[in-house]
Amino acid sequence: MPDGRGSLVYHVLTDGKTVLPLPESQDHKRALDNDEGPNTGGMGAYSPAPVLDHMLRTKAMKEVMIPAVQGMAKEGTPFKGVLYAGLMVNKDKIKVLEFNTRLGDPETQPILMRLKNDLVPLMEACCNGTLHQHAVEIDPRAAVCVVVSAGGYPGAYEKGHAISGLDAANEIKGTMVFHAGTAMDGDSVVTSGGRVLGVTSLGDTVQQAIDTAYAACEKISFTDHFYRKDIGAKAVKRLSIPPKVGVIMGSDSDFSVMEKALAILKQFDIPYYVTVASAHRTPDQAARLASQAKEDGVQVLICGAGHAAHLAGVIAAHTTLPVLGVPIDSSALQGLDALLATVQMPPGIPVSTMAIGKSGAHNAGIFAAQIIGLSDPTVAKKLTAFKKDMAAKVQKKAASFA
Ligand code: C2R
């Protein structure tokens, strides 16, 4: 199972004040399949990158991109344009590898395929300081770019070979061939660089985008051309892992609390899904999620809701899986209403109720890990290490008072 580690590229547009995220993108630096061979400028990319889920995307904005833009403004050197961050994800943590002040290649090709806006007005708004008047519209589909290179790249390679099949590739639905190292020789397009073309396709799923991009690559030919055959394979692998925990929130407004549960699940490498459903507002969908969960391989459901929180109870009514309830402090009663509504279930419908708010969400994550740890020795081992680490931290605090 992928372990929640990975590097990717995150771009934002900014006028120095407003920061608008573009979709993340993951590139492939090595020349050959399975990340073998020498380093290159990039042999392909895909977007979205499943290693960066909603929680980490929010974190990347809050902890990296917005502070960077605000920091530069505060120092009297506001930055306007595209800010690129190379990020390293490690479970629930994000570190910055590098910043660039441009779009990256070939990460940009999938991003531009998913960007529904015209880029020019956005760039003008970056210059004019009017970015707050714009919203970035993203195509939810996946995009995959395969870089078609000259034989020998990243070492010595020949130039000037005629390229055939460009029109046929561009005619494939949802496909665009980006030129990187090409030139005109009379009427024909010839190679003039190492990374010659970025063949990029959209698909309803990552697999569909991969299949379409490779079908387009097959139309293209020039002397000694080559490309990696495994672009996007990591995303497909990651997406194929079934979730073991379902995290259901009564509203998206509960996210800042429920992300504490997600951080713990990430620390334990427990795959989860997170969604919004309401016993009040979407009762059929809530019931459907609950009845389906066990069949999908989910082992525990965590429900977070505020106000008169009926969510955990209704979910528990429709499943035999253990349900953990997190009362959320979103109402004038600061979570007491949600606590009573969640904990006071009638006999026959147990909901294991956590504390109100963030500490409850944190504990729900640990509790879910404990349930999974009963049949998963790897998670059980991590729980033991987690407890030891917690005890060591307390001892360190105690020592500071000695
Ligand atoms: P909005 O912020 O969407 O108005 O929601 C949510 O969990 C949230 O804390 C306000 C609060 O209403 C809660 N809610 C429930 C349920 N559905 C939404 N308690 C439910 O099904 O119990």
Amino acid identity of residue 244, one-letter, is K
Could you tell me the distance, in angstroms and rounded to a whole number, from the CA of residue 309 to the centre of ligand 1?
7
* Residue closest by Cα to atom 2 of ligand 1: 253
pLDDT digit string, tens, across residues 250-290:
999 999 999 999 999 999 999 999 999 999 999 999 999 99
Q: Which domains does the chain have, with CATH numbers?
A: 5-237 (3.30.470.20), 243-390 (3.40.50.1970)
Q: How confident is the model at residue 1 (pLDDT cuts 50, 70, 90)?
A: very low
C-alpha distance from residue 388 to each of 148, 343, 381 (Å): 50, 30, 11
pLDDT digit string, tens, across residues 100-134:
999 999 999 999 999 999 999 999 999 999 999 99
Closest CA to 44 of 294, 185, 216: 216
pLDDT value, residue 261: 98
For the chain, percent of residues with pLDDT exceeding 70:
100
Candidate of 254, 258, 307 to mutate for ligand 1, largest count of ligand atoms within 8 Å of Cβ: 307
Q: With beta carbons less than 8 A apart as the criterion, state whether 202 and 143 touch.
A: yes
* pTM (predicted TM-score): 0.90
d(CA 259, CA 285): 22
pLDDT value, residue 4: 79
Does 329 have pLDDT greater than 80? yes
* Residue closest by Cα to atom 1 of ligand 1: 251
Q: How confident is the model at residue 357 (pLDDT cuts 50, 70, 90)?
A: very high
Task: Give me the mean pLDDT over the 55-79 stretch.
Answer: 97
Could you tell me the distance, in angstroms and rounded to a whole number, from the CA of residue 278 to the centre of ligand 1?
7
C-alpha distance from residue 95 to each of 56, 275, 312 (Å): 11, 26, 35
Does 167 have pLDDT greater than 80? yes
pLDDT value, residue 15: 98
Pocket of ligand 1 (CB under 6 A): 250-251, 253-254, 278-281, 305-307, 309-311, 328, 330
pLDDT value, residue 6: 86
Shortest-distance atom of ligand 1 to CA 308 = 19
Q: With beta carbons less than 8 A apart as the criterion, state whether 355 and 381 touch.
A: no
Closest CA to 7 of 29, 22, 40, 23: 29
Shortest-distance atom of ligand 1 to CA 283 = 21
Query: What residues are paired with 184 via a beta bridge?
Result: 189
Q: With beta carbons less than 8 A apart as the criterion, state whether 13 and 22 touch.
A: yes
Candidate of 311, 314, 358 to mutate for ligand 1, largest count of ligand atoms within 8 Å of Cβ: 311
Q: With beta carbons less than 8 A apart as the criterion, state whether 201 and 209 touch.
A: yes
Amino acid identity of residue 131, one-letter, is L
Task: Give me the mean pLDDT over the 38-46 stretch.
Answer: 96
Shortest-distance atom of ligand 1 to CA 280 = 21
* Residue closest by Cα to atom 8 of ligand 1: 306
Candidate of 278, 351, 358 to mutate for ligand 1, largest count of ligand atoms within 8 Å of Cβ: 278
Closest CA to 84 of 69, 101, 70: 101
d(CA 178, CA 186): 20
Could you tell me the distance, in angstroms and rounded to a whole number, from the CA of residue 329 to the centre of ligand 1?
11
C-alpha distance from residue 101 to each of 12, 69, 83, 85, 194 (Å): 10, 12, 5, 9, 23
Does 2 have pLDDT greater than 80? no
Candidate of 249, 254, 256, 303 to mutate for ligand 1, largest count of ligand atoms within 8 Å of Cβ: 254
Query: What residues are paired with 199 via a beta bridge?
Result: 146, 177
pLDDT value, residue 5: 85
Candidate of 248, 253, 340 to mutate for ligand 1, largest count of ligand atoms within 8 Å of Cβ: 253
Structure tokens at 98: 């590098």
Mean pLDDT of the chain: 97
Could you tell me the distance, in angstroms and rounded to a whole number, from the CA of residue 85 to the centre of ligand 1?
35
* Residue closest by Cα to atom 5 of ligand 1: 251
pLDDT value, residue 204: 98
d(CA 387, CA 292): 33
pLDDT digit string, tens, across residues 15-37:
999 999 999 999 999 999 999 99
d(CA 291, CA 153): 53
Could you tell me the distance, in angstroms and rounded to a whole number, from the CA of residue 361 to the centre of ligand 1?
16
Q: HEC string of the chain?
A: CCCCEEEEEEEEEECCCCEEECCCEEECCEEEHHHEEEECCCCEEEECCCCCCHHHHHHHHHHHHHHHHHHHHHCCCCCCEEEEEEEEEECCEEEEEEEECCCCCCCHHHHHHHECCCHHHHHHHHHHCCHHHCCCCECCCEEEEEEEECCCCCCCCCCCCECECHHHHHCCCCEEEEECCEEEECCEEEECCCEEEEEEEEECCHHHHHHHHHHHHHHCECCCCECCCCCCHHHHHHHCCCCCEEEEECCHHHHHHHHHHHHHHHHCCCCEEEEECCCCCCHHHHHHHHHHHCCCCCCEEEEEEECCCCHHHHHHHCCCCCEEEEEECCCCCCCHHHHHHHHCCCCCCCCEECCCCHHHHHHHHHHHHHHHHCCCHHHHHHHHHHHHHHHHHHHHHHHCCC
Structure tokens at 143: 């995009």
Closest CA to 302 of 288, 316, 282, 281: 316
pLDDT digit string, tens, across residues 206-229:
999 999 999 999 999 999 999 999
